[in-house]
Structure 1
């Protein structure tokens, strides 16, 4: 499946910087390679932002980038129904607790937590900036296998160009409307595809364990992304 994200120039520049610094995947994700997990459980995101609907949309869009990296991701609809039945919809209650119960209930090796810290729309700049964290925790040891803080500026502009002052104003208006009514799904996809683009390949990927020397991003990133 082709990814739906075209990484912007800012992302490419950042990636080159990481390569020049010599950060490799084995250096960035040693515990992921050590535990070598297979089955991922996506936990409902923890939403600290003012965007009420962000939680559900982020939840449904995290499956694809992780599955494409070669992991088996438990079906979101099934796991959500089970989590709600077991009164486990609020991940805040479990992120710092014993995760062995999720390993027993779902057979999951890793519980994937997401914390959405902010969701800010810039009408003038036609962008939405999201600050969030990704935390992969082992259900066997409760150890954090992967933790990344990400600040991602998503371009929500129409891509149109205006001629003259009137044309420019019309394009700016169209961009403002698009940003104000921006689809949470497309923005969530942009964030997840960008922030998880360098995770180690899982057992279902042909490059599993042969990607250790590939370039990796840092634990804290600030990037731009567009469709």
Structure 2
């Protein structure tokens, strides 16, 4: 692609991202969540839709902290994972097929959290390199089968990267160096922690509601 056309395409992409980012989020309907008033959460192993095989357990290891800080009792994920394996369910896709009623019978939790990893790992593009993790989460009441909440979050090393100058050659070299560093240091696990915290921390913008063990805050 000729450079003028490439430049136009990049400008159009930047404008599109800016406009999309300025769209006001619609308030989430929390009526079912408030009616359920859950206290405990069973987190199933995430389904990995990315090409990186490390993604599922990397994200899974970060889930408990933000949910606990939000005020919920989270069933120990290692115990949950081992329970499924002992019953012949070896991967996340098989586990996802278990009905809410059966999950409630086995674990006696109020809710179950389904997580899908849509992006994980490093990518090298023409003028940039980043490690990104993106995931969606759905909270379902195990007693009624109702969906209570759904969220999405993404985190990336590109958020902290700054162009240090040096022209196009400098940008390309920086992107290549970042790609090597990101691959060797497996920064995906670090970024997974940031994405998980954004996804599952209690927050006033369409986030998960505070649980019964949450620190007192000003009511929404």
TM-score in terms of structure 2 length:
0.72
Q: Is 2:188 the partner of 1:188?
A: no
SS of 1:145's equivalent in the other structure is strand
Q: Do the aligned residues in 1 keep the contact of 2:119 with 2:133 (CA within 8 Å)?
A: yes
In the alignment, the residues of structure 2 paired with residue 154 and residue 119 of structure 1 have an alpha-carbon distance, to the nearest angstrom, of 10
Q: Do the aligned residues in 1 keep the contact of 2:45 with 2:115 (CA within 8 Å)?
A: yes
Q: Which runs of 5+ in 1 are unaligned?
A: 1-9, 214-227
Q: Greater share of helix residues, 1 or 2?
A: 2
Partner of 2:182: 179
**How far 1:92 sits from its partner (Å)?**
2.6
Number of aligned residue pairs: 193
In the alignment, the residues of structure 2 paired with residue 155 and residue 116 of structure 1 have an alpha-carbon distance, to the nearest angstrom, of 17
Q: Is 2:178 the partner of 1:138?
A: no
SS of 2:61's equivalent in the other structure is helix
Alignment of 1:15-164 (within 5 A): 17-18=24-25, 23=27, 27-95=28-96, 97-119=98-120, 121-123=122-124, 124-150=127-153, 152-155=154-157, 162=164, 164=166
* Most deviating of 122-131 and 152-161: 152-161
**How far 1:44 sits from its partner (Å)?**
0.6
Which structure would you say has the larger Rg? 2
Cα distance change on mapping 1:125 and 1:153 into 2, 3 Å: farther
Alpha-carbon RMSD: 3.1
Partner of 2:213: 204
In the alignment, the residues of structure 2 paired with residue 158 and residue 46 of structure 1 have an alpha-carbon distance, to the nearest angstrom, of 28
